[in-house]
Amino acid sequence: MATLPDGSQLEFSIEPRPIPPLRPLQLRATIRGGKARGVEVDFAGTDMKMGFNRPALTGGDSVFTGQGTLPVCITGTMEWDATVLVDSGSTRIAVPFRFAVTSE
């Protein structure tokens, strides 16, 4: 959970857990105490470039959902940055989250 500049809170989740590579992921962003016009999630490898991966979530006002997929990394375990981009209509806010994925 992260607090946005307007005082609202962003809760972001990825399912299933543990997060697997090459499988559909359920993404959910919930904004408590505020509203948004749109939400995207920008996935980037922390230490390795893995290509452009930015799914747009659908929904409205305070709950946005969607799907994403992460590629396999040949090193086994890889750290990822998921930057949740919240479009409030007047500003665009980037909120970073970090997690690890282990290849099967």
Sign of torsion over alpha carbons 32, 33, 39, 44: negative
For residue 19, what are the domain limits?
A: 2-102
Kindly report, residue by residue over 64-101, the tens digit of the pLDDT: 999 999 988 777 788 999 999 999 888 999 999 999 89
- Give the burial string for 64-91 (b: 16+ CB within 10 Å, else e): bebebebeebeeeebebebebbbebeee
User: E-assigned strands of the chain?
Assistant: 2-3, 9-15, 25-32, 38-45, 56-60, 63-68, 77-87, 92-102
Kindly report, residue by residue over 9-59, the tens digit of the pLDDT: 999 999 999 999 989 999 999 999 998 999 999 999 998 888 899 999 999
Work out how many domains the chain is built from and give that number: 1
Residue 49, pLDDT score? 84
Q: What is the CATH number of the domain that holds 63?
A: 2.60.40.1930
Residue 104: pLDDT band by 50, 70, 90 thresholds? low
